[in-house]
Structure 1
């Protein structure tokens, strides 16, 4: 009976150990990110610790399987090596769990979502992690890691003292006979707990969701479970398993308007078809920073002024949430799919066309300048592989300039960018990618009234960047090439703002797009385009205005100046996708197969979901063939 008692003690101790570790992490998370839960009642916060139990038991079961085998071997053979191995495995697991959560607890303030498999992309360049994080984030990572590891180590020592699991005066043969039936049974119980019970559909992330506040739901799901689910999806080579399987006739019926609409029109807004193209890619500028776009107090006074003399697109959406996805969408008219980053796969993205390639035959040269390191997200490779004549980043900036932790300040970027532009023969396509509005927001400062309240650092960085953009435009007006130039000012992706913090809300992905400059016809200046579209539509919109025959080069890009164009935007979210039309919007989560946000009327939702699925299926099938 001692054997059953001690083995049962070990079984229950493992589960109790992991539940305590996860609950300790929740407490630390709540303290560190208190501003995000300040409006949450104490009762709702306490409920987290009850609603989380099923997922905690599931995670604890998976983490406990190997340690249970090792401690069983110690109970049976009484060899210290098994207990040592058991402790080693537990400490390794504790290190991994603590690192995942210590990273998440810091990143959450910036990302507003839990740590996902996309971290592997960043970890391929470790210096990016440390440069993106400010010094306090690095310090807090170490503090939380040490706290969590120390807490777990103390509990481990208390629960699993070697003396508790020694069985004396029982022959090994008797132990083996008793272990043979009981150990598989206990492991079977772990398996049942791991899948959440005997029900047909296994446990999933939504099992812990109970609140209307996404932050509370995120706290309820322990970090290794969420991260593990993300990794399983990240590791799949066939995301198509999650997508629809419509026949060709079904797709043609669902997307008839997109596939057959009249492409030709006479709505031209350019003075001529060969303007200089100057792209300004704004890091993280979400539409809600602009009063003009959101109707709420904003911080882009200068951009709003420029929009009065340009063509402003008010319903444009980023295709994803990272810079490499945004750049590929802008220049190649390529949409985003869940968990897929085309720029990270050179063997595929090289088969896409880009704007500079479409206009190269007209004598255009092309360049791209970033104030940070372009190896992140394989952005350098993307632009180099697509034939940009000059791709430069922080390594090409002159020595002696002041810079932030992640990149040179926007004022330095625009100063160098202007020098580059002045040396180019016309016509040219040039792009500058800003960086001061990226965490850690260590911009040099500004003289305007500072933003106070939520997202203070980000909003103040936008004020600074907005002034830098205006100063650059003013300097550009003094140059000879300015008179035949079209500025394409657009964000790479959105960001949390004082008005939108939910990373699963399509509003987080709405971004500004402004066409500005003397290349515009006078009657186009001040125009507002409210058609729903995405970054992927910029390419075809520009190419049509320039009367470039693109053929089938941009199959997913729509001309947003076409009066006949169907209005929709597809975007990838964290672990899911979103769909926006004039009728509404929804975001859908792949893991727990539910709508996170939905504003479509019930009778419209089913049809819009089918249309979204059909488009994703088409994009994915082409992606597979690249």
Structure 2
């Protein structure tokens, strides 16, 4: 009888941990079901990337990691309380706390998973840093959701509400049926440590030197499939956790010292004979303009939202961008220009600052670059230019206004500054309103004061809203990306038709360039085709020319300065493509999630080198015509790899040292 009573007491002790077991099984079932549904939606990509057995097994391991974190937190916090569980009142509160915590976690899991399909369709990955960054802009985000993903928005809100209601009712019903148990303290002393150890092992998920992390589950060459193996709560938490490492985000690609990185950069062919006079600003050098002018030209950058090179073609035989097609024969047309990233702020930092991409947030958002960070506005403002940013939406979006005002832009024009605009959508006034404002500014400027203007369009942004009756629609319904591209091109054509007839045309240099492509996705480690963007420099005395070599967005700033006739100290390491006596670098760099791509033209074709986090670098032969990446089996050249790694690590070094800036001259 004593043995039987002891056994019953043990089982009654274990019964107190039933809520933990129920939570584990419910969470695992929920996360696994969601993963299988997503895998079914993208079954072709899963089939091509990994076996279903491995996919499911790795997914369960990833879920155990996340569930383990949610179990460990209360298990550690409530451990002191557990040793008093022989008291009935303590048992009641122990159980209540566990159940409430478990239900909160299940609701979080549900909300994140039900939010995933729409996010995945837009960004080709599970929720990451963008998921919480864009919560700061509810108007724009809600408009995008209601117009583009209304079904998922309704399902998400309704189902989450139902889950909360059902969970609450279940909690109340089970709480009323709770019975206290006879428990021995010695059993608790044995059970609690075992649970903690098992939970820690589930979180670690491996006996290897390092515990499991997202790189541990990155077993395919398709970044989207790798994200499916994880769960959305984990990917979001990992993104939040990584914020503290942003200053050193790209140091993960190599172990070169700061001095070796700087030395490697300075050995770049077009920088090799350059003097770098500042020890604390290691990339600052003097750039002599290739064109001599009695008065420097105005510079106008028209940053086109989401205008990938794939749109500068035809749709069913009908041209989507006839105006850009017409204009490209009148200036410098960049045939192989590539963006550095996949977000607008990444395009801004590359075009306006010439800054290389990183895994971290763009410098437009980072706190350490809101003052004393190089921009074209800063260098031109020091030379007497009036500098302005013109936008059709709210300039606070993506922290643009703060970044621009803090780094050389003397005025900012946004949606609130338009009187009686012809059209206002979710993302602000139409491109035609924007270009009317730009034209007005250029007409009314003082001819003796050179102007630098950045104009950023927004009509070609989901949900693709633009005025009725302006274009012949390419397809139905109206609000599609192809129609929005056609409208954006229409507005651009109208502007240049007026600009060519204006006095400012002859003393103004224009750059038309995309910030990035729309919806950058693909099965490859770096989907190169989706980084291909159009670029055109025209105006003033620019002679038509096609730049066929591979070019990066970071090359545009130094080239513009030179063509405008402005010599200055700059920290940019992009190439001034107007220097005819220097061989083109014929390369571009691009950041895709955690992968860093370096596309290099060579006698063997275009070679893509991809750096990965905690994995060896890989090389591919890229065929632009077929959009194919063929793995190269030969060993990477140490010299080439060192160059790529140095360029990948440099932006983190410059940001961390606050050294991407030209110090004021005394």
Q: Which TM-score applies when normalising by structure 2?
A: 0.80
Report the alpha carbon displacement of residue 185 of structure 1 after superposing the two structures with TM. Answer: 0.8
Aligned-partner SS, 1:488: strand
Task: Indicate conservation of the 8 Å contact 2:222/2:522, yes or no.
Answer: no
What is aligned with 2:195?
Answer: 186
What is aligned with 1:390?
Answer: 411
Report the alpha carbon displacement of residue 406 of structure 1 after superposing the two structures with TM. Answer: 1.7
Q: Does 1:450 align with 2:480?
A: no
Alignment of 1:337-356 (within 5 A): 337-345=358-366, 347-356=368-377
Task: Indicate conservation of the 8 Å contact 1:301/1:466, yes or no.
Answer: yes
Q: Measure the CA separation in 1 of the matches of 2:116 and 2:171.
A: 27
What is aligned with 1:252?
Answer: 263
What is aligned with 1:52?
Answer: 59
Find the partner of 2:272 among 261, 266, 289.
Answer: 261
Q: Measure the CA separation in 1 of the matches of 2:519 and 2:148.
A: 20
Find the partner of 1:464 among 470, 475, 487.
Answer: 487
Give the stretch that moved more between structures: 191-200 or 605-614: 605-614
Q: Measure the CA separation in 2 of the matches of 1:165 and 1:9.
A: 14
Q: Does 1:63 align with 2:67?
A: no
What is aligned with 1:488?
Answer: 511
Report the alpha carbon displacement of residue 565 of structure 1 after superposing the two structures with TM. Answer: 4.4
Find the partner of 1:283 among 305, 327, 335.
Answer: 305
Report the alpha carbon displacement of residue 334 of structure 1 after superposing the two structures with TM. Answer: 1.8
Listed one character per residue, the Cα deviations across residues 573-604 of structure 1 (whole Å, up to 9, x for unaligned) are 323432222242244443x6466884474333
Give the stretch that moved more between structures: 373-382 or 145-154: 145-154
Unaligned runs of 5+ in 2: 1-9, 275-285, 622-630, 659-666
C-alpha change, 1:210 and 1:557, in structure 2 (3 Å) is closer
Q: Measure the CA separation in 2 of the matches of 1:410 and 1:161.
A: 58
Q: Measure the CA separation in 2 of the matches of 1:90 and 1:30.
A: 26
Q: Does 1:609 align with 2:641?
A: yes
Give the stretch that moved more between structures: 120-129 or 538-547: 120-129
Q: Measure the CA separation in 1 of the matches of 2:291 and 2:97.
A: 71
Task: Indicate conservation of the 8 Å contact 2:125/2:227, yes or no.
Answer: yes
Find the partner of 1:228 among 232, 237, 240.
Answer: 237
Task: Indicate conservation of the 8 Å contact 1:2/1:167, yes or no.
Answer: no
Report the alpha carbon displacement of residue 194 of structure 1 after superposing the two structures with TM. Answer: 0.9
Alignment of 1:407-426 (within 5 A): 407-426=428-447
C-alpha change, 1:449 and 1:270, in structure 2 (3 Å) is farther
What is aligned with 1:306?
Answer: 327
Q: Measure the CA separation in 2 of the matches of 1:199 and 1:156.
A: 41
What is aligned with 2:4?
Answer: none
Q: Does 1:95 align with 2:107?
A: yes
Task: Indicate conservation of the 8 Å contact 1:290/1:299, yes or no.
Answer: yes
What is aligned with 1:570?
Answer: 589
Q: How many residues align?
A: 611
C-alpha change, 1:503 and 1:75, in structure 2 (3 Å) is farther
Alignment of 1:21-420 (within 5 A): 21-26=30-35, 29=38, 34=41, 37=43, 48-66=55-73, 73=82, 76-79=86-89, 80-135=92-147, 137=149, 140-147=152-159, 150=162, 162=174, 170=182, 172=183, 174=184, 176-208=185-217, 213-236=222-245, 238-239=247-248, 242-247=252-257, 248-249=259-260, 252=263, 256-258=267-269, 260-262=271-273, 274-291=296-313, 299-345=320-366, 347-360=368-381, 363-399=384-420, 401-420=422-441
Task: Indicate conservation of the 8 Å contact 1:275/1:519, yes or no.
Answer: no
Task: Indicate conservation of the 8 Å contact 1:112/1:502, yes or no.
Answer: no
C-alpha change, 1:134 and 1:155, in structure 2 (3 Å) is closer
Q: Measure the CA separation in 1 of the matches of 2:365 and 2:268.
A: 32
Aligned-partner SS, 2:439: helix
Task: Indicate conservation of the 8 Å contact 1:314/1:530, yes or no.
Answer: yes
Q: Measure the CA separation in 2 of the matches of 1:8 and 1:91.
A: 15
Q: Measure the CA separation in 2 of the matches of 1:22 and 1:197.
A: 20
Report the alpha carbon displacement of residue 3 of structure 1 after superposing the two structures with TM. Answer: 3.4
What is aligned with 1:543?
Answer: 561
Listed one character per residue, the Cα deviations across residues 345-380 of structure 1 (whole Å, up to 9, x for unaligned) are 465342233323333465432222111111012111
Task: Indicate conservation of the 8 Å contact 1:312/1:528, yes or no.
Answer: yes
Report the alpha carbon displacement of residue 461 of structure 1 after superposing the two structures with TM. Answer: 1.4
Q: Measure the CA separation in 1 of the matches of 2:431 and 2:261.
A: 49
What is aligned with 1:558?
Answer: 575
C-alpha change, 1:152 and 1:609, in structure 2 (3 Å) is farther
C-alpha change, 1:584 and 1:464, in structure 2 (3 Å) is same
Aligned-partner SS, 2:466: coil
Report the alpha carbon displacement of residue 179 of structure 1 after superposing the two structures with TM. Answer: 1.0
C-alpha change, 1:150 and 1:141, in structure 2 (3 Å) is same
Report the alpha carbon displacement of residue 159 of structure 1 after superposing the two structures with TM. Answer: 11
Give the stretch that moved more between structures: 403-412 or 503-512: 503-512
Aligned-partner SS, 2:459: coil
Report the alpha carbon displacement of residue 542 of structure 1 after superposing the two structures with TM. Answer: 1.6
C-alpha change, 1:168 and 1:548, in structure 2 (3 Å) is closer
Q: Measure the CA separation in 2 of the matches of 1:394 and 1:126.
A: 16
C-alpha change, 1:287 and 1:255, in structure 2 (3 Å) is farther
Find the partner of 1:441 among 442, 446, 464.
Answer: 464
Task: Indicate conservation of the 8 Å contact 2:23/2:102, yes or no.
Answer: no
What is aligned with 2:657?
Answer: 625
Q: Measure the CA separation in 2 of the matches of 1:252 and 1:169.
A: 71
Task: Indicate conservation of the 8 Å contact 2:340/2:350, yes or no.
Answer: yes
C-alpha change, 1:58 and 1:501, in structure 2 (3 Å) is closer
C-alpha change, 1:443 and 1:502, in structure 2 (3 Å) is farther
Listed one character per residue, the Cα deviations across residues 289-346 of structure 1 (whole Å, up to 9, x for unaligned) are 2239x9x997323212211121111232222322223223222222222213222246
Q: Measure the CA separation in 2 of the matches of 1:354 and 1:119.
A: 28
Listed one character per residue, the Cα deviations across residues 242-298 of structure 1 (whole Å, up to 9, x for unaligned) are 253424357535762257435799995898762222211101112222239x9x997
Q: Measure the CA separation in 1 of the matches of 2:218 and 2:499.
A: 52
